Every structure is written in C-alpha cells, then in structure tokens.
C-alpha cells in the first residue's frame, strides 16, 4: 500500500501543493484498509522542468520517510523555482509489501531504459513478481537477482521490453494488462504513474487495474481508487488519501474506479486527461 501523484502542470503551485499533501499522507494515512497507517519505507520523485531538450530532470530516491528526510525541503525548493514552464512528473511514498527488499534501487520511482528514452514508474499495489520474472526471463532472456528486487522493479523491466517491441506506451500497457490477466499475476492493484522521457518530449501516464480481492472489498477499493484533477494550472491524478483526507483539489477532484478486471489507462497533458479501457 502506497500513495502517489502524477502530474503535468504549468507553473510550480500544484507541484508544491501535491508534494506537501503527499508528505502529510505519508505521516498519517487515516484511510488504510485496516485503519490508520503510515508510509515510512521511503519515497522518491522524478520531475521534468520544461522539455528534455533544454529542461532539467530531477530524480530523487530515499529509503527514509519523506516526513523525516531533511532533503525534502531542499528538493521542493529546487524543483519549483520556475514560473513559466511545464512540470511533468511522478512522486511516491512507500509502504512496502516486502520490507526485506527496500533499498536504493527498489524505492520508487523505478526506472528502466527503453530504446528511445527512459521510463520512471511508481506503483501502488502488488503483482506476483516470480510469475512476472519467469515470463521476462523466458521471453526476453533477462536475468535478475529477483530475491533482492521488488515486484515493481521486475514489472518495470518487462514493460520496457514490451515498449521496445511495440513502440507505443498505451499499446504496451494494453499488452501488459493481457499478460497479467492471462497469467493471473495481479495480487491487488496495478495503479501506476509513469513518466516517459524521450530526447524531444515528455509524457505522463496513469493506470488502474484491480484484482477480485480489491474489487469485492469496498474499503480496499475506495482506498486504491485514484482521483483526477483538472484546472487552469494543469492536470494531475493522485491517490485517494491526498484528496479525501488532505483536501488536494478543493472538491474539484473526480474519482476513477475500475468496475471489473479492465485496465484503465490515462495520458495527462496540461489541458486534459484522456482515459481508455483495455
């Protein structure tokens, strides 16, 4: 169980607000399926200021809680200096399913190189990493020390290889969803925020997909649901706690909830959020 935000906005105001709300949610999350929890296993972000040709990409990952990290204020200040640029990125606080594999590599965002750029992925939910790895190894010949990696890291490597085959991230996510359904890989949710950085462009994507254990439990489902926010400053999608417990969006947020085993995939721009099912 984790919390995250994915955004593409004009100017720094929503970046600041989102990260401060994420910090609050990490320290006290009153919406946990079994009660109040925190997200103390690390945090990270990947944020592009401007475009890849002349902008700045900030990647930061730490295994300490965001609310105890003395670097948080410094990073927040450094990435919100410019007023007339588009900010695109993802940020995440971790409550790890397997705390034995929390390390500097596995803290989100997980990154994976692709032929035309880099993927930065944050994830809330659990997939069966051994099943994912077996497919990755048998299909693509990639070997990993899987026991020291979390499910998101393994999944990111598979998505990168599919993307290299397909060349389009939305189509790649659709193919991944089919593999997950066919192989029964999903243990809870495939809620992801993805920053795709190419030499000449940057895009932000979000996915939602639920297992029956989430779909059939209202409290868990409401916890995993994401919300979309559209404003004249840009667009973002965020975990439920940031909206329901900490007021991100000022009552303008729209809830997104899968009704079956479909994948909802969205692409964000500063002026719109376009979603489709796969």
DSSP state of 110: E
Beta bridge partners of 269: 272
* Separation CA 93–CA 276 (nearest Å): 26
Query: In this predicted structure, what is the pLDDT of residue 251?
Result: 77
Q: What is the mean pLDDT of residues 203-220?
A: 96
Q: Model's pTM, two decimal places?
A: 0.97
What burial class does residue 228 get, using C-beta atoms within 10 Å of its C-beta: 0-12 exposed, 13-18 middle, 19+ buried?
Answer: buried
> pLDDT, tens digit, for every residue of 82-127?
998 999 999 999 998 888 889 988 999 999 999 999 999 999 999 9
Other CB atoms within a 10 A radius of the CB of residue 123 amount to 27
Query: In this predicted structure, what is the pLDDT of residue 101?
Result: 87
Query: In this predicted structure, what is the pLDDT of residue 34?
Result: 86
Query: In this predicted structure, what is the pLDDT of residue 108?
Result: 96
pLDDT band at 252 (very low <50, low <70, confident <90, very high): confident
How high is the mean pLDDT of the chain?
Answer: 96
Beta bridge partners of 273: 268
The helix-helix angle for 169-183 and 129-140 (nearest 10°) equals 120
Residue 161 has pLDDT above 80, yes or no: yes
Residue 144 has pLDDT above 90, yes or no: yes
pLDDT band at 220 (very low <50, low <70, confident <90, very high): very high
Which residues, 6+ apart, have CB-to-CB distance to 25 below 8 Å? 3, 39, 93, 239, 241, 242, 245, 246
Residue 250 has pLDDT above 80, yes or no: no
* Separation CA 81–CA 63 (nearest Å): 26
- DSSP states of 189-236: B-EEEEEEE-SS-EEEEEEE-B-HHHHT-HHHHHHH-EEEEEETTEEE
- Please give the CATH number for the structural domain made up of 3-277: 3.60.20.10
Query: In this predicted structure, what is the pLDDT of residue 53?
Result: 92
Question: What are the domain boundaries of the chain?
Answer: 3-277
Query: In this predicted structure, what is the pLDDT of residue 215?
Result: 96
Query: In this predicted structure, what is the pLDDT of residue 153?
Result: 96
> pLDDT, tens digit, for every residue of 34-78?
899 999 999 999 999 999 999 999 999 999 999 999 999 999 999
Query: In this predicted structure, what is the pLDDT of residue 99?
Result: 85
What burial class does residue 47 get, using C-beta atoms within 10 Å of its C-beta: 0-12 exposed, 13-18 middle, 19+ buried?
Answer: buried
CA angle at 208 for the pair 80 and 26, rounded to the nearest 5°: 45
Share of the chain above pLDDT 90, in %: 93
Query: In this predicted structure, what is the pLDDT of residue 139?
Result: 97
Instruction: Give the tokens for residue 180.
Output: 């997950």
> pLDDT, tens digit, for every residue of 168-192?
999 999 999 999 999 999 999 999 9
Pairing of strands 56-62, 43-49: antiparallel
Q: What is the mean pLDDT of residues 223-242?
A: 96
């Amino acid at each position: 169980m984790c919390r995250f935000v994915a955004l593409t906005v004009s100017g720094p105001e929503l970046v600041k607000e989102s990260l401060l709300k994420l910090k609050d949610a990490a320290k006290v999350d009153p919406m946990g399926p079994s009660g109040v929890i925190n997200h103390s296993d690390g945090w990270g972000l990947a944020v592009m200021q401007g475009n890849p040709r002349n902008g700045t990409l900030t990647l930061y990952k730490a295994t300490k809680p965001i609310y105890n990290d003395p670097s948080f204020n410094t990073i927040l200040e450094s990435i919100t200096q410019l007023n007339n640029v588009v900010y695109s990125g993802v940020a995440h606080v971790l409550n790890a399913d397997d705390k034995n594999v929390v390390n500097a590599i596995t803290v989100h965002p997980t990154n994976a190189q692709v032929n035309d750029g880099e993927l930065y992925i944050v994830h809330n939910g659990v997939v069966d990493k051994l099943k994912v790895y077996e497919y990755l190894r048998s299909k693509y010949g990639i070997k990993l020390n899987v026991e020291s990696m979390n499910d998101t890291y393994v999944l990111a490597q598979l998505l990168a290889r599919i993307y290299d085959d397909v060349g389009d991230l939305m189509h790649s996510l659709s193919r991944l969803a089919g593999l997950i359904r066919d192989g029964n890989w999903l243990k809870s949710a495939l809620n992801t925020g993805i920053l795709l950085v190419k030499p000449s462009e940057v895009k932000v994507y979000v996915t939602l997909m639920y297992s029956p254990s989430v779909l059939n439990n209202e409290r868990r489902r409401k916890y995993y649901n994401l919300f979309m926010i559209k404003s004249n400053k840009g667009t973002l999608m965020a975990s439920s706690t940031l909206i329901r417990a900490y007021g991100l969006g000022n009552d303008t947020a729209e809830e997104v909830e899968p009704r079956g085993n479909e994948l909802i995939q969205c692409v964000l721009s500063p002026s719109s959020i376009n979603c489709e099912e796969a």
